[in-house]
Structure 1
Amino acid sequence: MARPRLVDDDVILDATRLVLAEVGPAKLTLAAVGARVGLAPPTLMQRFGSKRGLLLASAARSPQLVLRAAAAAEAANTSPLVILRDFVLSTVAHIERRAQLGNGLGFDVSDPEFREHALAHSAAVVNSCDRFYRAAVAAGELRPETDVQALARHTLVCFNGALQVWAVTGWGSLSTFLTEQLDLMLRPYLAMSAGLDARQPVR
């Protein structure tokens, strides 16, 4: 009979995410992850096969985390544009220092397996934004002629670009910098009749 698992995979992958932010994928070790959750490296090898297997499992989980963040933002707000902002900010809430963000960007997307998960992550972000923007048009927060699909993809570009710029410059806090970039991007699309002043932040 197999021994029951005392530590869930999600707990291990949460720890992996934290270690990745601290040291990056090249310096991550099974021992460092195991120390966070009280498991020996051979146990992690048994579950994930190798360090690469652990990193792939972490990358594969990334789209799920995006969808969870989207659902949590929807549950906490009623305004679609506020949902959008909270969703975007919550995905980087664990980032406190520029080095953490740089470490998290260290995956080789030329690797087919990691690229597949990166594409799934991007699709989860775009699809969530698309849904929020369609709701914002219906609620009168965005102009009715807004190209929602294009705006959703532009949001991914804005988000990823802002992260890379902040990782280098550290301009203010990450949440403030992201909020500023989102507000600038959305300003031309705001519907004045909704009571949202285009000169002010969305929130």
Structure 2
Amino acid sequence: MTRRKSISDEDILERALPIMARAGPAGFTLADIAAEIGLSPATLLQRFGDKKTLVERAFAQDNERFARWIADLPEGRGEAATLAVYRAATEGFHADPDPELADHLLWLREDIRDPVFNALARARFALFRAAILARLPPLRLPPEEVARLLDAQLHGAPIQWAIEPSGSLTDYVMQSLTTVLRLAAD
């Protein structure tokens, strides 16, 4: 007789993701995750096969959450609507130099070098860029190019801010994005 699962795979992945994000790719074991969730490492192996599969599935599930977040964003067009998307994306980080931001950057290497993580990152970028393109005001530059410049600023400004913090991260990023958007506008 098969035992009934006390926690779904989806719940395990949701609860494991913050542990993984905080520790970075090499900073946790299946035993760490199992202990936090209240399962045995053997249960995780039985359900997911190995650590890499668990991590890939957790981030794939997070991409699904991200897609729902994107779909739920308010509609609109113009500078304010565009910047509202970026504000919502940056508000998860805190006002002081944030260890969470540094932890997040640990995963960037995986997004670049690992084919599965790279595909997940490209999918997130495509969803986010489509949301921006749908909201951009009239511009003198091609909208696709402006969206790429805004993406680059969104990803670069937090790193710059983390090294030389000035005000809150959200305010710093928003000021940078506003400047780029206004340079591209009519």
Bin for the TM-score computed over the shorter chain: 0.7 to 0.9
8 Å Cα contact 2:21-2:104 kept in structure 1: yes
SS at 2:134 equivalent: helix
TM-score (norm 1): 0.73
Match in the other structure for 1:185: 180
TM-score (norm 2): 0.79
Deviation sequence 1:98-127 (CA, Å, 0-9, x none) = 321122222332222222222222222222
Match in the other structure for 1:90: 88
Instruction: After TM superposition, list the pairs within 5 Å mapping 1:1-203 onto structure 2.
Output: 2-74=2-74, 78=76, 81-96=79-94, 97-107=97-107, 108=110, 109-133=112-136, 142-143=137-138, 145-190=140-185
8 Å Cα contact 2:150-2:181 kept in structure 1: no
8 Å Cα contact 1:158-1:182 kept in structure 2: yes
Q: Distance in 2 between matches of 1:131 and 1:163?
A: 24
8 Å Cα contact 2:78-2:138 kept in structure 1: no
Structure 1 residues 146, 105: CA separation in 2 closer, same or farther (over 3 Å shift)?
Answer: same
Q: Distance in 1 between matches of 2:143 and 2:157?
A: 20
Deviation sequence 1:35-87 (CA, Å, 0-9, x none) = 4433322222222222211221233234323322222322xx65554443333
Structure 2 gap segments, 5+ residues each: none
Q: Distance in 2 between matches of 1:128 and 1:171?
A: 28
Amino acid at match of 1:110: R
8 Å Cα contact 1:98-1:170 kept in structure 2: no
Percent identity over the alignment is 26
Structure 1 gap segments, 5+ residues each: 134-141, 192-203
Aligned length: 181
Q: Distance in 1 between matches of 2:5 and 2:79?
A: 41
User: Cα offset for 1:2?
Assistant: 4.3
8 Å Cα contact 2:13-2:57 kept in structure 1: yes
Match in the other structure for 1:194: none
Structure 1 residues 22, 170: CA separation in 2 closer, same or farther (over 3 Å shift)?
Answer: farther
